[in-house]
Amino acid sequence: MLDWFWKYSGNLYDVGLPDHWVGVLLVICAVLCGLIAGAEREFKNKPAGLRTLALICVGSALFTMASIQLAGDTDDRTRIAAQIVSGIGFLGAGAIIRDRGNVVGLTTAATVWVMASIGMLVGGGYAVAGIVLTLLVVGTLTVIQKLHYRMLSGCQYQQCGLHYRGEDGKTRIRILEVLDDHQVPDHRWDVREEANGQECLTLSYCHYHRHHREILGNLARVEGVERIERIRAPRECETETNSE
């Protein structure tokens, strides 16, 4: 199976094109691979998005191409490219954050790591293989995650009301910033005006997962919020996808 894959994916260095055209095609392919994977991360508002993964993939491809060109016909063609494996660890570590006992960013760090390896593969001449493997990575990030949430850990929702002073819209802006930080979609909250210049924001939040419940603590610390009250019982088993 693997022999068939490598045989028909083809190495651009062996097709007879001039070296500069091979380099152009490989760089374009590396950008495309990075953009495909980055689009999935960007859609989920992760720190490593379109530009980051595209640059990682292109950089890995360029280092690999430089290693091949500088080494020529010697046995030392992989020395420069080999340093990518250790060097990319610094970027991956930067995407991992420990916050109040929770570790977040592991999936993003793993994506950075695997896209660097795909960039090395593309830089080695296997452009088609790089695109196929990038699609496999995106499929892993999307399909498996949906199956996980659907089968193992569906969110459970309940509603609460945030009563706060209007302050000419200033408090509402601070609250919306917290909602954006937690990637709460617009259809899960609503605002109504009350007497004496106060407002009430009705929020539907997941009380089942601890990292989702953290939004209540962040909202309680917003200046101008006077009280948070539960409105009604939870709704069962809707799926959410913002925990990576």
Nearest to 190 by CA among 219, 224, 215, 159: 159
Is residue 184 within 8 A of residue 231, CB to CB? The reply is no
Residue at which a domain ends, from 131, 151, 171: 151
Q: What is the pLDDT of residues 62-101, one digit of tens each?
A: 988 888 887 766 666 667 667 787 778 777 777 676 655 5
Q: Report the C-alpha gap between 8 and 23 in whole angstroms.
A: 20
Strand partners, 161: 202, 229
Q: Which of 87, 119, 151 is the last residue of a domain?
A: 151
Q: If you ran DSSP here, which 8-state letter would residue 223 be given?
A: T
Same domain, 131 and 190: no
CA pair distance 225, 69, nearest whole angstrom: 62
Q: Where are the beta strands (DSSP E) in 43-121?
A: 97-99, 102-104
Whether residue 68 sits in one domain with residue 45: yes
Range of the domain at 56: 2-151
Q: Which uninterrupted H or E stretch holds 81?
A: helix 79-94
pTM (2 d.p.): 0.58
How many domains, the chain? 2
- 8 and 117, same domain (yes or no): yes
CA 56, CA 53: separation in Å to the nearest integer? 5
Residues with Cβ within 8 Å of 28's Cβ and at least 6 positions away in sequence, in order, are none
Dump pLDDT digits (tens) for 102-113. Answer: 666 788 888 899
Of 54-58, 61-65, 191-195, 208-212, give the lowest mean pLDDT range.
208-212
Q: Which two tokens stand for residue 151?
A: 């089968």
Considering the domain boundaries, does residue 97 fall inside one?
Answer: yes
In a domain, 211, yes or no: yes
Residue 201's domain is classified under what CATH number?
3.30.70.260
Question: What share of the chain in percent tops pLDDT 70?
Answer: 79
Asked whether residue 180 falls in the same domain as residue 136, the answer is no
